[in-house]
Amino acid sequence: MYNGDDEGSPYSLYAGSQGGEADDDGGQGGDMLDYAYGLLDMLKANWVVVVALLVFLGGAYMAYDFLVLSVKDVEIGVSDTEGQPLGIVSIKIADSAGSVAASASGSGTVRLRAGQYTLAAGRQGYKTKNIPLYVRDNMAVQVKLEKDLDMKISLDNFPEKLVVGENRTLNLVVQNTGDKEIGAGDIEFVFSGALGEDYMSIEYAKTTVPAGGSETITLQISVREDINKKLIGDGKKGSIRARGLDNKDAEIDVNYALVKFDSGDVKINPSRASLREIDAGSSAYSTIEITNKNDFTMENVEISLGNVATDAEGNVPEEVREWIKADPSTISSIANGETRTFTVEVSIPQTAKKDKVKGIVLLKTAYWEKEFEVSFSVSEAEVSLEIGGISSTYSLSKDSETGLYEEKTGSLELKNSGDLAINNIELVTLCGTDWLSIPVKKFAEIPSGASEDVEFTVRAPITAEADTLKTCEVLVKYDDPVFPLAQGRIIKNINIQTR
C-alpha cells in the first residue's frame, strides 16, 4: 500500500520497492494487491482529471462519428422513362425538417449524413418527381422523369387473332386530359412484346391533340411474313405505351393468337370462269365456290375486279369493266371446312362490238390475295327490221262505166328479225294518199322476233291517165338500238301502173 512517509512519487504503484522488502509469506500476490490499491488511490486523488478526460474522449468520438463516420455517398442518376440520361436537372434534397441538405444540377454524387430525406428532381418539359430517401450506407438512386403530358390512350376491339403476313388497320384514341395542347412531336408510341419488331411493323401519322380533346390515330399493322416459326401460337402478349410516360392510362396491354395461313388450303372451284360467247344486249353468269381448309376462320374475303383486256378497238376497257360484277362483294367469313359461293355476272350492252375479253377478279383478305380469271367473247348485236306483205308492183285497171281505177288492199308486215328491240317506229308514204294510204303509221316498240301488221290501200286518182307508172316510197324510221342518237331507215319502193 501507498505509504505517505515514503520518499517516492505519490503516483508510484509499487510501495514495497521503495519503502522496504516484502514480507516473505506475501510474495507476488501482495505486490499486485498493493498495485491495485495504489491505482485506486490515485484515481480518487485525481477524479476531476479522469472525468474530464472521459468527457473529452466521448465528445471526440461523437464528433468523429457525426462529421466522418455518418456521412454517406449517394449517387443520383436521372433519366427519362426510356432510360436515356437527362442533362441539366434540378435536384434538391430536403431533410425531415424541410431544410435543403444538398442540391445539384444533374446526375452525380452528393454526400449526406445518415437519415431520412425527400429528393425532388425536375426538368423543363418534365414533371417534378418527389421520392423518399433513407440514407444508411453509401447508395445509388435512379430517378425516372415523365414528360409533362396528361394523356390517356385506348384501343377498341384488338383482334383475337392475327395471321402471318396480315395487313390490318386499327384505331387508337388519344385523349388529352390536361389543360394544354399536346403537339404532334410529343406523340410517339413504344410497341413491345408481341407487338415488337420481331413480330410486326406498325406505322402511324402523328397529330396534335387540343387541351381537353381527343384524336383518333390509325395504326397500320403489318405482321412479318418471315417471322420465326417459334413465335407462332396462342397467348401472345404485347403492349402499346406512350413514349416518355410511365402510367397505366398511357399504356395498353393486348393478347392475341398468331396463326399461319396456308394458301394451298383454300380451294376455288372452278379455277376460272369461261363464259364463252355472250350476245350484245344479254348477260351470263358463273357461280364460284371457295372452300377453306385452314384451321381457322377466314374473315372479310373481298371480291373485286382487277385488270381487263379487250381485242376490239370499239370497246373501251374502262367501260368493259362496268360489264363485270361480283356478288357479293365481300364474304364476311369462311369457317374451317366451310364452302361459300359468289357469282360473277357479265352484262353486255347493246352497243358492244364483237370482242374477246379477259378480266381478273381479285379475291383478297388482309393476309392473302388470289387472282381469278374471267373470259368471254362478245357477239355483236344485229339490228334488222324488214318490210313484207306488200308487193313491189301493182297494176290498176279503170272501170269503163264509172271511170274510176280499182283499189287493192293488203296487210304490210313490219318484222324485227334482229337481236334487239326496236323503238319509235314511224311509217311515211312519199307519194300522197291518193296513190297509197296507210292509216296506222306509228309503233312504240317491236321486240326482237316480233312483228306488226299494217293495213294499206293502193289506188290511183281519177285524173290519172292510162298507162301511167307511179313510184311510191314507203319510208320506215326508227331509233337505232345500238346507237341511240342515230336513226335507222328502211325504204320500200312500190310501182303503181294504171291500165
Q: Over the stretch 319-348, which tens digit does the pLDDT of each residue have? A: 999 999 999 999 999 999 999 999 999 999
Domains and CATH numbers, the chain: 71-145 (2.60.40.10), 151-259 (2.60.40.10), 264-379 (2.60.40.10), 385-498 (2.60.40.10)
User: pLDDT-based confidence at 23, cuts 50/70/90?
Assistant: very low
pLDDT at 93: 95
d(CA 48, CA 111): 39
Task: Reply yes or no on whether the pLDDT at 308 is more than 70.
Answer: yes
Q: Where are the beta strands (DSSP E) in 350-431?
A: 355-364, 369-379, 385-388, 393-396, 408-416, 422-429
User: What is the rounded average pLDDT for all residues in the chain?
Assistant: 88
Query: How many CB atoms within 10 Å of residue 176?
Result: 20
The secondary element (H helix, E strand) that includes residue 134 is: strand 129-135
CB 158 within 8 A of CB 254: yes
pLDDT at 412: 93
d(CA 493, CA 310): 42
d(CA 373, CA 365): 18
d(CA 153, CA 253): 11
pLDDT at 163: 96
Average pLDDT rounded to a whole number, residues 262-278? 94
pLDDT at 11: 35
User: pLDDT-based confidence at 104, cuts 50/70/90?
Assistant: very high
pLDDT at 36: 67
pLDDT at 261: 95
Which amino acid appears at position 140 of this protein?
A
Q: Over the stretch 113-148, which tens digit does the pLDDT of each residue have? A: 999 999 999 999 999 999 999 999 999 999 999 999
pLDDT at 6: 41
User: pLDDT-based confidence at 57, cuts 50/70/90?
Assistant: low
pLDDT at 484: 74
Q: Could you tell me whether strands 161-163 and 251-259 are parallel, antiparallel, or unpaired per DSSP bridges? A: parallel
Q: Over the stretch 156-187, which tens digit does the pLDDT of each residue have? A: 889 999 999 999 999 999 999 999 999 999 99
User: pLDDT-based confidence at 483, cuts 50/70/90?
Assistant: confident
End-to-end CA distance of the chain: 197
